[in-house]
Structure 1
Amino acid sequence: MRIAIIGRPNVGKSTLFNRLVGKKIAIVDDIAGVTRDWRAMPARLADLKFEIIDTAGLLGFEHDTLFKQIESQTEDVLKTADLILFVVDGREGLVANDENLVRKLRKKLQTPMVLIANKCENQKTIDNLGDFYRLGIGEPVAVAAEHGIGLGDLYDVLKERSVSLGEDQAAMNYDDEDEDTPFDPNAAPEDLSDRTLNLAIIGRPNAGKSTLINALLGQNRLLTGDMPGVTRDAIHLDWTYEGRNIQLVDTAGMRRKSRINKRLERLSVSDSLKAIRYAEVTILVLDAQTPLEKQDLTIAEHVIKEGRSLIIAVNKSDLMKGDFLSELRKRLLYVLPQVKGIPCIPISAKNSKNLDKLMKMVFAQEQLWNTRIGTSLLNQWLAETISHHPPPLAGGTRIRLKYMTQIKTRPPTFVLFISKPAELLDSYLRYLLNKLREDFDLPGVPIRFQVRKGKNPYDNKK
């Protein structure tokens, strides 16, 4: 069953969405109109499983260009819903915009609606819901989404609707995969084709992130515009490309902290940082017409610190002037010397130029991010590397690099057992990292090194 939530701004739609999803997905604030792009997520209420859609607040009459886009997209997604939850503010009571919106929905849709009166924290509010019967969509279900009040009554209504739709036999299973399996560096490379790839699109405001996603999807799924800050929430979209399941995440533009002076924008940036943390590959979108700024490099640095694989898409490349790409590569190498070879792909999201090349690079970087190097091969490499360039002396004695093994992928992470960890110079560790990247062909992927004191853990097993 697919359920859409709709209503005018600031009636608590996103709060109800978060409550049904079971975690804080949508940004919630007292400012009206926080939600712009719609989002869909698996949800459950007791034993009832369904898909829930959060939509932008509408008034029933939209004149601004951006809000006309919002209205059009909301109408499109409502047509795919089996049921609409029409949310009103029980505390404020019936207002003209509620009636305008219901009237408009009736003209355009045949989808059944359930009236949800939110913010009903006390009996007095519930007793004053009589005016809402004038909307003509039945008895209001009184809830207080913020506090979880009234969910039992909502369950009864949804259960009845699901039975009428035959959903009991088609409940969706959203159980997460168990990934707590021991890591074996000598195992065969993992087949990634059956995994869903989490791909985040990030960058400064107005770089063309939403335009890029629309071009990849082949539809105007996300709002776009020349005004910075159109996207507010991190929007998760399921997509299939050449048979591979991908979850695309469009994020709000990230500006320097000194320029973030609104609470809502701070929440949006926090949402974007969270999207990076849970991504596997990230595409940083730059505008070829805009001079490279420190903030672009700061975002790239954050991605690498999180251990995510990074690709840079230079948008509007048809308007690119001078040696933009070569200058970009130089500055990346200066700021992120530990990650050589970050891919930079010139694209045009508006004209769908080079998007196939971009996606091929996404899959290539994902494969590198999942690289496994067998322990035997790794220690053979270590011995050869030390013989050509031994570590410097520490207090007149040689530091002994005894053994090395890979302990995880995503990103590739290695442990080096040595005699004097505290005395190994950072410069030599960087040398090992760069040599490893070069010899095993791992360009642009963050690699993590851990140094521990100890002997070869296999010495006692010989």
Structure 2
Amino acid sequence: MDSKSLRPLVAIVGRPNVGKSTLFNRLVGERRAIVEPTAGVTRDRFILPVERLDWDLRFDLMDTGGIGIVDRQDLADSVEMQVMTGLEAAALVLFLVDCREGLCPLDEEVARMLRRAGAQVQFIANKAEGQEAERNLLEFSALGFGPPLAISAQEGKGLTEVWQALEQALPPASAVEEVQEALRIAVVGRRNTGKSSFVNALLGEQRVIVSDVPGTTRDAVDIRLQWQERPVVLVDTAGMHRRGKVANAVEYFSLTRSDHAIRRAHLTFLFLDLTDHPAKMDQELGRTIQDRYKPVVIVGTKADLVPDLNPKAFAETVEHFFPHLRGAPIVLLSNVTGKGKDRLMKLAFQLKEEGGQMVPTGELNRVVETVFQRLRFRGGRGGKPRVFYATQLRAHPPTFLLFVNRKELFEKEALRAISRELRKRLGFARIPVRIVLRERLRSPSKKG
């Protein structure tokens, strides 16, 4: 039996603009949270794993929205709810105040909230640079949390004391599970195509209601599991059908949540019933997957009911109905016999790995140059499309920024051709890529 515990959560809490995101970035070791002088920039909870084995620490760190934001009341309520949710889950709260400004009513409000929550608190006074800031330190004893640790997150001063406090308050790293990012799969398809049966087959238990009545699963339920000792999150998406046939608000929100599931997944399984012909709704789902730049596996379900099925004929049907998903792998699946299940999951991990690749900038620019030489774009009245420089912005999906002469010269067909060539030459044959165009700024002396 594994005796390791879940990762403890450490929440950074305070009023707006006391330096929570700056401290967050210091502790994480990279700039991940947006740092702005404008109060209220961080509106959502932002959580990242931290591993500092030199301090024997392994935990999750949360940057919260500032308490007391009043730019929009609906956002203020949402942010404070996010903060309270974080406090409920936190093993330790880093309560941050601003030494330069000294004690203010919002600090007292945060202190009251922390006392009501019964949270374990480490009190920290940030921006402790200069004599005035040192004098202001004395004011904070009125909050009832003892003397604060004086730090400057911006300059990196006092962080050793913060790490020492964390080490004393949290369990040792050896007692905490390591982070391993789960593969997130959106399972989508029309109603009654076997999605819930597939989820249950992977789990080995009936966690999702399975029925012959179409539309039994209305919520997009996240289910965590281990597949060959690797973490997976399956989103068993509510069955989809035409918007014109939405019966009520529950069905409408099921459609919305299905789209949201596709957005936040690494890849998508599109379930098609082999006993029925693809319908317009299947094609619309395919286009949604394409619009979200998600890798997809076309899954033909209920293969046990069609024993004489010709796989080649099914592949031709898929190519006819889903030309926009050309190149997507196809798997025939039977939830009854289990045939196709292992191949499907192996494909999913392969696609995640392929979609997570980052291409070195030098290699990318050489490939882009080759692509443009091969495509030989013709110039119209406005000139010929040209690219000066390319870089990869992110993975999942692979997103490439191209600095070009004029964006309007890159028509849709040209972008599709560039995308096809990049996928083929960069190892993304089964992965959609996203292209972002930006015009290169020219100096005033060179403008026409």
TM-score normalised to structure 2 length: 0.57
Deviations 1:409-461 (A, max 9, x none): 110111112222212333222211111111223133221111221179xxxxx
Shift in CA distance, 427/267, structure 1 to aligned 2, threshold 3 Å: closer
The answer for the alignment partner of 1:328 in structure 2 is 318
Q: Does 1:394 align with 2:380?
A: yes
In structure 1, distance between residues paired with 2:375 and 2:268: 35
The answer for the alignment partner of 2:446 in structure 1 is none
In structure 1, distance between residues paired with 2:374 and 2:263: 38
Equivalent of 2:209 in 203, 223, 235? 223
Q: Which runs of 5+ in 1 are unaligned?
A: 2-42, 51-153, 157-168, 172-192, 457-462
Matches within 5 A, 1:62-461: 194-320=180-306, 321=309, 323-333=313-323, 336=324, 339-395=325-381, 397-454=383-440
Q: What is the DSSP-based 3-state SS (H/G/I as helix, E as strand, rest coil) of the residue aligned with 2:328?
A: coil
Q: What is the DSSP-based 3-state SS (H/G/I as helix, E as strand, rest coil) of the residue aligned with 2:322?
A: helix
In structure 1, distance between residues paired with 2:240 and 2:355: 25
What is the CA distance between 1:47 and its match in structure 2?
A: 5.0
Residues 45 and 155 of structure 1 are in contact (CA less than 8 Å); yes or no, is this contact kept in structure 2?
A: no
In structure 1, distance between residues paired with 2:293 and 2:385: 29
In structure 1, distance between residues paired with 2:436 and 2:85: 44
Q: How many residues align?
A: 280
Deviations 1:100-142 (A, max 9, x none): xxxxxxxxxxxxxxxxxxxxxxxxxxxxxxxxxxxxxxxxxxx
In structure 1, distance between residues paired with 2:264 and 2:183: 11
Shift in CA distance, 263/376, structure 1 to aligned 2, threshold 3 Å: same
In structure 1, distance between residues paired with 2:249 and 2:400: 40
Residues 224 and 230 of structure 1 are in contact (CA less than 8 Å); yes or no, is this contact kept in structure 2?
A: yes
In structure 1, distance between residues paired with 2:405 and 2:315: 43
In structure 2, distance between residues paired with 1:451 and 1:416: 5
Which structure has more RCO (C-alpha within 8 Å, separation ≥ 6)?
1
In structure 1, distance between residues paired with 2:86 and 2:439: 51
In structure 2, distance between residues paired with 1:349 and 1:317: 8
Q: Which runs of 5+ in 2 are unaligned?
A: 6-82, 91-115, 119-168, 172-178, 443-448
Residues 423 and 432 of structure 2 are in contact (CA less than 8 Å); yes or no, is this contact kept in structure 1?
A: no
Residues 240 and 246 of structure 1 are in contact (CA less than 8 Å); yes or no, is this contact kept in structure 2?
A: yes
Residues 212 and 350 of structure 1 are in contact (CA less than 8 Å); yes or no, is this contact kept in structure 2?
A: no
Residues 201 and 250 of structure 1 are in contact (CA less than 8 Å); yes or no, is this contact kept in structure 2?
A: yes
Deviations 1:248-282 (A, max 9, x none): 11111000111112222112222222222221121
Shift in CA distance, 227/398, structure 1 to aligned 2, threshold 3 Å: closer
In structure 1, distance between residues paired with 2:385 and 2:365: 16
Q: What is the DSSP-based 3-state SS (H/G/I as helix, E as strand, rest coil) of the residue aligned with 1:394?
A: coil
What is the CA distance between 1:240 and its match in structure 2?
A: 0.7
Matches within 5 A, 1:7-26: none
What is the CA distance between 1:48 and its match in structure 2?
A: 4.5
Deviations 1:165-194 (A, max 9, x none): xxxx999xxxxxxxxxxxxxxxxxxxxx92
Sequence identity of aligned pairs in percent? 28
Q: What is the DSSP-based 3-state SS (H/G/I as helix, E as strand, rest coil) of the residue aligned with 1:393?
A: coil
What is the CA distance between 1:312 and its match in structure 2?
A: 1.5
In structure 2, distance between residues paired with 1:45 and 1:403: 44
Residues 402 and 455 of structure 1 are in contact (CA less than 8 Å); yes or no, is this contact kept in structure 2?
A: no
In structure 1, distance between residues paired with 2:391 and 2:193: 41
The answer for the alignment partner of 2:107 in structure 1 is none
Residues 278 and 321 of structure 2 are in contact (CA less than 8 Å); yes or no, is this contact kept in structure 1?
A: no
What is the CA distance between 1:325 and its match in structure 2?
A: 2.7
In structure 1, distance between residues paired with 2:401 and 2:235: 32
Shift in CA distance, 170/229, structure 1 to aligned 2, threshold 3 Å: farther
Residues 418 and 455 of structure 1 are in contact (CA less than 8 Å); yes or no, is this contact kept in structure 2?
A: no
